[in-house]
Each structure stands twice: as C-alpha cells, then as structure tokens.
Amino acid sequence: MSKFITRQLNTLRSLSKGLNTQLQLALRRVTKIPVKTKKHFYLAITGTMGAGKTTVAKLLAKKLKFHLIEENFGENAFLARFYQNMKRWAFHSQTFFLMEKIAQTLSTHNLLTNKNIIQDVPIYQDVFSYAKAQHIMANMDDAEWRLYQKIYRSFEPNLPRPNYLIYIKTSLESVKARIGSRGREFERRIPDGYLELLEMLNEAWMKKEANGIKVITVETDNLNLIKSSRDREVFIKKIIHSLKL
C-alpha cells in the first residue's frame, strides 16, 4: 500500500474513532424524557456515469433548500492517469475516491442534526459499481479488491444511510451524448461496454445493498434539465410527490 493511501487511511480511522467517542458520550447524556426532533432527509443521487447526477443534485438542493454534498473529481491526482493506464492506476484512483467518500459520509452525522442533505453519489455506487467494475475487468487484482473491500467494511457500520436514493435512469445513447457535452477529455475514449457494465452493477447493488433505503426511479431521456424550465418543474414535482414533502 502506498504511503499516501496509508496516511489517508490513518486519518479516516482517527475521524471514525473520534466520532464513535462523541456518539457514546452523547448517548450517556440522554435522559428518559422523550424529546421531539425534526425529521431531516438524507437523499443520495445515483445513476450511471453521465446520467446527470450532478445536475440533478444541484437542482434539487437549490429548489428544496437542502445542503449539497458534491463529488470532488478535481483533487484525485490519479484519475487522468487511470484513464491512460487502467491496470496501473485503478486501485489508487478507486481507493482515493473511497477515502474521500468515507470522510464525506461520516461528516453527515453532524449535518443531519439541523440540515436536510443531498449527496451527489452515495458510497455504495463507488464500491459496488465503479470499483467492482475495475475488479471484473481485471484492472484491480484479487488482492487489491480484497483490501479495498476491507477498508470499506471497516468503516461501513459507522456510516449513516440515506433515507432515499434518487435513481437517474438513462439510456446508453443519452449517457454518451451527455458525457460528450461536458468536455472531460479523458472520458471521451470510454467504451460502450464499460458504461453498460456500470449500469448493470448499479441495478444489482440497489437490489442488494440498498436494503431498507427507498428508491425513487426517474427516467430522464426525454427531460432536458439544463435548458428546459418546464422539464425541471416536471422533475421536481415528481420528486416532491415521491418524498411527500
């Protein structure tokens, strides 16, 4: 394991340990007097690469006045290298994203005490779609995949779970068009088979890992959420109705 990954892992362990201590102290202070608390929503946006998850997350956060937790591609120094040499950099890139997402998800514990939250891509998609695809494609070997899962499973019990997953379901043709329009040069060479694999894995983990999390599926092939205000209103009304807000 590289020194970078080791340092990041130690930081996350300290964060998780500190959070556990805070939770235990809070529980000790709880009295038997019932306290009414306002229910706060934790929504996560999921869908295949290029489906429009970030657009949806920003749209809903603005309209519903939810706190937005965004993906952070820019800080992953391994991502561009990964698209140039997947076998060499898959483990590094996926582990970086995993550690970022663990820290991000742990932070929702405090945020949920007074905010509604929308997260652009839940950790389950990182683990069971993006990273698992790299193992299936042999870009991560068995030892790397086991280590990756071990890191995830060591933190998973302390991670809050979303109340709802909003699944942006999109055809391959629409996904390719949207990827092309956003101008990330390293994404232009992504083969169709990879996108199809991601979609299959998304469907699979939502059935298995999203146990107890309600899934709201929205097909967006015929919606232009960037240019059409009417389409945005149709989409938002569907989400509000599904959430019973």
Task: For 33-67, give the DSSP string.
Answer: S--------EEEEE-STTSSHHHHHHHHHHHHTPE
Which tokens in the block code for residue 155? 């933190």
Separation between Cα atoms, residue 154 and residue 65, nearest integer Å: 33
- Reference 148, options 208, 207, 203, 101; nearest CA is 101
| Segments in 46-191 forming alpha helices (H) | 53-64, 79-84, 86-106, 108-111, 123-125, 132-136, 142-155, 172-181
The one catalytic residue in 120, 126, 141, 231 is 120
Q: Please give the structure tokens belonging to residue 49.
A: 């690469």
85 backbone dihedrals φ, ψ, rounded to 5°: -150, 85
The question of whether 231 is a catalytic residue gets the answer: no
SS3 category, 160: coil
Active-site residues: which are they? 120
